[in-house]
C-alpha cells in the first residue's frame, strides 16, 4: 500500500459524523435526560354533557333492575343521554370550545385535532374532520384514534409527542361519545353502565419539567372477545367478570410502569384519575396502588361510563373544583376493549 493511499484512508477515518449520526445522538439524549426536548402539557381543558338525564329509577321501568342493585354493583346513580339529532362531533365541539377558551386560544391557532371515540359519527370521514369543520380550525390536521375506553390515554400520548418533537405547537385532544346508541336497552348487564359526554384538552409547550413526565400504553388482542361490538351486531357485548379482573390488573401494571418511567413513586401522586368504568374497579385499583380516597377522582355516580370522555370529564371537574393546583402530579389510567390500556404521569402546568 502506497503512502498516498494510506494518507487518503487516514483522512477518510477522521471525517466528521454525519447529520444522521448527530440526530441519533440527540434523540438518545432526549430519551434519557430530555435536555433538548420541549415539554408538553395541558394548557386548556373543558367538558360537556347533554342535558337529558336517565336515572336508575328510569331504568327500573325499562328492565328488571333497581336503584339499589345498580348502585351496589357499579356506583352509578344516573347518566346523560344525547338527543337523537345530536352527533358525537357536536358534543366534541362543545367541549373543544371550552378547552380553547380555557387556554386562551382561537380555533385558527390549532395545528392538530385528535378525536378518540368508540361511537364516531360514521366510519369515514373521521369525526375529527367534522370537528375541524364545525370549529373552523382551518389550520389543523385532523384524525381519529381508536383504542376504545383507553383512547384518551393513547391520544394524550400521541398528541404530547407532536408538541415535544416540535411537529406541532397547539394540539387539541378530544374524547367524545354517544355510546348510548351502542347499548341494548333490554340487557340490564350493560344498559345500566353507559352514558354520553365529551371532554377536551389543549396541549402546548410548557415550562421545563412540567407537563407529561411519562406515558405507557399496552394491548392484548387475544382478549378482543371480552368486550366488543360484533361486526354482525350493533350492541355492546361484555364478559363483565373477566373485564373486571383485567381492568384491576392492568391499572396497577400501567400505573407502576408509567411512574417508574417518570422516576416517581406512588406516594408522589397527588391525584389518581382513572377511566370511570365502574366504582368497584376504581376502588380496587386505588387499593392496589395504596392511594388514599382523597387522592382518587371518581364521578361515575353522575355520568356512568362515558368511555373515552370519562378521564377528561373527571379531570375537568377536578380542575374546576379548585383542588388541582400548579405542580400537582396527576396519574391517569385507561383500559378498554382491544384489550387496551395505558397511563400518563402529568405534572400539572396550568396556573389559572
What pairs with residue 296 in β-bridges? 272
Instruction: Check if 239 is active-site.
Output: no
Q: Which of 43, 161, 49 is nearest to 100 (CA)?
A: 43
Other C-beta atoms closer than 10 Å to the C-beta of 58 total 13
Is the preceding peptide bond at 339 cis, omega within 30 degrees of 0?
yes
Burial of 270 (0-12, 13-18, 19+ CB in 10 A): middle
Four-CA torsion 21, 26, 30, 34, nearest 10 degrees? 160
The one catalytic residue in 129, 275, 278, 344 is 275
In angstroms, the CA 106 to CA 8 distance is: 59
Tell me the CA distances in angstroms from 305 to 97, 162, 176, 277, 308, one per residue in order.
23, 29, 12, 5, 9
Instruction: Check if 305 is active-site.
Output: yes
Instruction: Check if 80 is active-site.
Output: no
- Give the SS3 label for residue 203: strand
**Rounded to 5 degrees, what are φ and ψ at 91?**
-65, -40
The one catalytic residue in 149, 191, 278, 344 is 149
The one catalytic residue in 129, 170, 191, 305 is 305
In angstroms, the CA 195 to CA 204 distance is: 30
- Give the single-character DSSP code of 113: E
> Nine-digit cell at 304?
356512568
In angstroms, the CA 97 to CA 252 distance is: 34
Residues carrying an active site annotation = 149, 275, 305
Amino acid at each position: 500500500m502506497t503512502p498516498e493511499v494510506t494518507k487518503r484512508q487516514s483522512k477518510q477515518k477522521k471525517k466528521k459524523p454525519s447529520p444522521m449520526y448527530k440526530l441519533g445522538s440527540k434523540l438518545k439524549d432526549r430519551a434519557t435526560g430530555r435536555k433538548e426536548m420541549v415539554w408538553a402539557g395541558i394548557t386548556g381543558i373543558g367538558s360537556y354533557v347533554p342535558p337529558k338525564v336517565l336515572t336508575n329509577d328510569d331504568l327500573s321501568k325499562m328492565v328488571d333492575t333497581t336503584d339499589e342493585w345498580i348502585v351496589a354493583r357499579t356506583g352509578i346513580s344516573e347518566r346523560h343521554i344525547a338527543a337523537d339529532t345530536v352527533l358525537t362531533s357536536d358534543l366534541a365541539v362543545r367541549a373543544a370550545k371550552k378547552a380553547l377558551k380555557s387556554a386562551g386560544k382561537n380555533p385558527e391557532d390549532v395545528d392538530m385535532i385528535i378525536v378518540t371515540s368508540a361511537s364516531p359519527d360514521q366510519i369515514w370521514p373521521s369525526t375529527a374532520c367534522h370537528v375541524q369543520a364545525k370549529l373552523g380550525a382551518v389550520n389543523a390536521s385532523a384524525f381519529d384514534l381508536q383504542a376504545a375506553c383507553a383512547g384518551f390515554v393513547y391520544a394524550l400520548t400521541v398528541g404530547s409527542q407532536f408538541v415535544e418533537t416540535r411537529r406541532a405547537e397547539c394540539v387539541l385532544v378530544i374524547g367524545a361519545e354517544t355510546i348510548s346508541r351502542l347499548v341494548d336497552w333490554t340487557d340490564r348487564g350493560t344498559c345500566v353502565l353507559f352514558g354520553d359526554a365529551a371532554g377536551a384538552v389543549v396541549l402546548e409547550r410548557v415550562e421545563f419539567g412540567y407537563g407529561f413526565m411519562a406515558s405507557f400504553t399496552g394491548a392484548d388482542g387475544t382478549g378482543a372477545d371480552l368486550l366488543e361490538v360484533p361486526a354482525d351486531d350493533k350492541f355492546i357485548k361484555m364478559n363483565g367478570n373477566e373485564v373486571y379482573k383485567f381492568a384491576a390488573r392492568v391499572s396497577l401494571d400501567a400505573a407502576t410502569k408509567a411512574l417508574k418511567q417518570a422516576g416517581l413513586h406512588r406516594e408522589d401522586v397527588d391525584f389518581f384519575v382513572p377511566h370511570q368504568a365502574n366504582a368497584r374497579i376504581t376502588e380496587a385499583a386505588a387499593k392496589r396502588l395504596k392511594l388514599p380516597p382523597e387522592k382518587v377522582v371518581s364521578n361515575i355516580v353522575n355520568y356512568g361510563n362515558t368511555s373515552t370522555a370519562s378521564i377528561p370529564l373527571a379531570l375537568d371537574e377536578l380542575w374546576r373544583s379548585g383542588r388541582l393546583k400548579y405542580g400537582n402530579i396527576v396519574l391517569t389510567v385507561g383500559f378498554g376493549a382491544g384489550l387496551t390500556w395505558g397511563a400518563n404521569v402529568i405534572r400539572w402546568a396550568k396556573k389559572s
